C-alpha cells in the first residue's frame, strides 16, 4: 500500500509535464484539479485505513472517579478497575470494531474536548452526600455541568452508576433529563434523604423485558448495596424501569427500581443504575451483560440479538490487554 501511495503523491508532477491535453482530453489545469481531488480522496481513505479506529465506530467515554471506601483492590467502589475492565471487555466482545472505547481516571478528562465526539459518556464515581465524599465529576462545577449539557443537547448518551447517581437539588432537572433519575439526598439544602440504601442478597426482576438493554439477560440474584426510592419524574413517559428488587421496602409505585433507561426527545439516551458497590458483581453474567448492553444502547449502536458477549477478566488479564492495545 505504501508504494502505491508514493506513486499517487507523484501524480501532480506528472500532470505538470504535459503542456496541453494531459489525460483523456482534459487541459493541464483540469488534469491538475482532478489529481488534487483524487489525492484528497486517497488521503481520507488512508486516514481511515491506518488510524487504528474503525470507520463509523461509536465512541464510548468512561470517566472514573478516585477510589474510595478503602484501598485499591478491596472490591468496593473500585472505579478505576471498573472502567479498565469495561474497556477490555468491550474491545474483546462481539461488538469489537463497532466501538471506540476510552477511559479517564481521577474524575474528569484532562482534555474535555474528547467529549465533543462521544456517542455516550459513563460516569463511575463517588457522589456528594451533604459534606461527605466528593460531588460526581459531571456535577462538580457549573463548568462541568455546562460541558455535559452541551453533549446532551447534541444527542449524546449519558450513564450513571451506583454512587454517581447522587445529585443535589440544584441539578435535579438536569439529572431527570440526562438519565431519568437520581439519588435524592438533599431537602431544602439539608442532608435529609428522600432515597434510601440497604445491602442484601436478593432476586432481581427484569422490568421492560423487551427493551434492547435486556437482550440475552435473564432474571438473576445478586448481593448488592442497593439504592432505592430513587427520584423520578412521575410524568415522564419516556422512562423505562429495567431492574426491580421485590425485597426492598420502596415506596409505591417506583421505589423498588434500581436500574432504568430513558430516551430523550432529541433522540439521546440515558441510563442509570444504583448497583455497583461490589466489584465482584462484574462476574455475574446477566448483570455484566445488562451493563454492556446499556453502553451499546446509549451509544446508539445496535445491541446484538443475544446481547453483548464478554467474559470477566482478572486484574492481570486487564493489565495485559491494555498493554497489548498500546
Q: Tell me the H-state helices in 51-112.
A: 79-91
Q: What is the CA angle 315-318-323, rounded to 5?
A: 130
**Averaged pLDDT, 38-67:** 64
pLDDT digits (tens, 9 = 90+) for 137-190: 999 999 999 999 999 999 999 999 999 999 999 999 999 999 999 999 999 999
Give the HSE-up count for residue 124: Cα atoms under 13 Å, Cβ half-sphere: 26
Cα 4 to Cα 194: distance, rounded to the nearest angstrom: 66
pLDDT reading at 193 higher than 80: yes
Nearest to 82 by CA among 302, 295, 306: 295
Q: Read off the C-alpha cell for 201.
A: 442478597
Q: Phi then psi for 135, rounded to 5 degrees?
A: -60, 145
Give the integer Cα–Cα distance in Å for 51 and 222.
41
Q: Where are the alpha helices (DSSP H) in the chain?
A: 2-9, 11-17, 28-50, 79-91, 142-153, 172-178, 285-298, 315-325
Determine contact, residues 150/180, Cβ cutoff 8 Å: no
The torsion angles phi and psi of 98, rounded to 5 degrees, stand at -105, -10
Strand partners, 144: none
When pLDDT is averaged across residues 178-204 and rounded to a whole number, the result is 97
pLDDT the model gives residue 73: 86
**Cα 309 from Cα 14, distance rounded (Å):** 52
Closest CA to 53 of 119, 120, 107, 101: 101
Spatial distance between the Cα atoms of 85 and 261, rounded to a whole number of angstroms: 22
Instruction: Quote the percentage of the chain above a pLDDT of 70.
Output: 83
Residue with cell 503542456: 19
Pairwise CA distance, residues 272 & 260, whole Å: 6
DSSP 3-state percent helix, strand, coil across the chain (nearest 5): 35, 25, 40
Q: What is the mean pLDDT of residues 50-73?
A: 83
Q: What is the pLDDT of residues 224-248, one digit of tens each?
A: 999 999 999 999 999 999 999 999 9
Mean pLDDT of the chain: 88
H-helix or E-strand containing 239? strand 239-244
Q: What is the largest CA-CA distance in the chain?
A: 87
How high is the pLDDT of residue 49? 39
pLDDT tens digit sequence for 89-145: 999 999 999 999 999 999 999 999 999 999 999 999 999 999 999 999 999 999 999
Q: Which residues contact 245 (CB under 8 A, 6 or more apart)?
A: 202, 203, 204, 205, 226, 228, 256, 258
Confidence at residue 246, expressed as pLDDT on a 0 to 100 scale: 98
CATH class entry, domain 58-322:
alpha beta
Amino acid at each position: 500500500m505504501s508504494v502505491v501511495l508514493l506513486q499517487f503523491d507523484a501524480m501532480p508532477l506528472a500532470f505538470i509535464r504535459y503542456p496541453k491535453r494531459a489525460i483523456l482530453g482534459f487541459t493541464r489545469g483540469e488534469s491538475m484539479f482532478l489529481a488534487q481531488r483524487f489525492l484528497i480522496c486517497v488521503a481520507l481513505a488512508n486516514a481511515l485505513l491506518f488510524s487504528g479506529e474503525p470507520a463509523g465506530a461509536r465512541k464510548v467515554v468512561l470517566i472514573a472517579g478516585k477510589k474510595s471506601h478503602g484501598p485499591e483492590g478491596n472490591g468496593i467502589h473500585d472505579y478505576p478497575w471498573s472502567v479498565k475492565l469495561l474497556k477490555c471487555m468491550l474491545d474483546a466482545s462481539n461488538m469489537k470494531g463497532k466501538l471506540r472505547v476510552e477511559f479517564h481516571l481521577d474524575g474528569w478528562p484532562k482534555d474535555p474536548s474528547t467529549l465533543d465526539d462521544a456517542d455516550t459518556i459513563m460516569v463511575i464515581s463517588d457522589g456528594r452526600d451533604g459534606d461527605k465524599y466528593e460531588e460526581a465529576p459531571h456535577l462538580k462545577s457549573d463548568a462541568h455541568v455546562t460541558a455535559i449539557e452541551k453533549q446532551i443537547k447534541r444527542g449524546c448518551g449519558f450513564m450513571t452508576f451506583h454512587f454517581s447517581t447522587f445529585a443535589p437539588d440544584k441539578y435535579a432537572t438536569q439529572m431527570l433529563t440526562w438519565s431519568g433519575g437520581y439519588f435524592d439526598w438533599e431537602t431544602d439544602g439539608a442532608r435529609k434523604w428522600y432515597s434510601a440504601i440497604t445491602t442484601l442478597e436478593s432476586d432481581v426482576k427484569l422490568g421492560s423485558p423487551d427493551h434492547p438493554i435486556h437482550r440475552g439477560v435473564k432474571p438473576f440474584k445478586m448481593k448488592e448495596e442497593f439504592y432505592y426510592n430513587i427520584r423520578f419524574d412521575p410524568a415522564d413517559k419516556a422512562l423505562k424501569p429495567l431492574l426491580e428488587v421485590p425485597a426492598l421496602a420502596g415506596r409505591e409505585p417506583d421505589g423498588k427500581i434500581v436500574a432504568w433507561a430513558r430516551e430523550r426527545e432529541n433522540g439521546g439516551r440515558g441510563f442509570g443504575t444504583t448497583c455497583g458497590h461490589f466489584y465482584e458483581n462484574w462476574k455475574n453474567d446477566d448483570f455484566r451483560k445488562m451493563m454492556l448492553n446499556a453502553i451499546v444502547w446509549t451509544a446508539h449502536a445496535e445491541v446484538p440479538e443475544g446481547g453483548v458477549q464478554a467474559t470477566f477478566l482478572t486484574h492481570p488479564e486487564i493489565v495485559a490487554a491494555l498493554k497489548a492495545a498500546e
